[in-house]
Amino acid sequence: MIILGIDPWTATTWFAVLEKEGTRLTILEYWVISTRAGVAFSDRLVQIGADLSEILDTYRPSICGIERLFFLRNVTNGIDVAQARGVILYTLATRGISLVEYTPLQVKSGIAGNWFAKKPQVQKALKMLLGLSEIPKPDDAADALAIAYLTSLKIKV
């Protein structure tokens, strides 16, 4: 089974793709979709949708985990991220891909066992959980891997 993890943003949206066979997990890919600064915001949203569609066509995931929107201070940034997240949710829904959502605290707790874990703690825990030779970098890519990993735990293969 193929699992997609997404950490949504506007300028950069992070993705991770895992394959689960029995209890074995294999990282197929993790990377970023970067949108170009200085272009119309609507064009950035179109790019996110198009790039996500390409990922879906390539890997054909059965399920996707995505981080819920969480912001405290910058409402304008939160609204932009919400719009990018809307494009992502729409694209997944039109493909019939199951969705699981996690708050940032759920991701930290589920991976590092601590609601208040910092990004380096999450990266180190992922290294151990996924049997990696080094910690996944950059840290936002690790967030997408963490989301995909948590989603894999919900699947019975």
Q: Of 43, 67, 134, 139, which is the active-site residue?
A: 67
Give the residue carrying structure tokens 């949708």.
Answer: 49
54 is catalytic: no
- Is 140 catalytic? The answer is yes
Active site residue 67: yes
Please give the distance of CA 103 from its chain centroid, rounded to a whole number: 12
Q: How far apart are CA 120 and CA 139, in angstroms?
A: 8
Rg (CA), the chain: 15
Sign, CA dihedral 108-118-29-53, equals positive
Candidate list 29, 80, 140, 143, residue with the active-site label? 140
Active-site positions read: 7, 67, 140
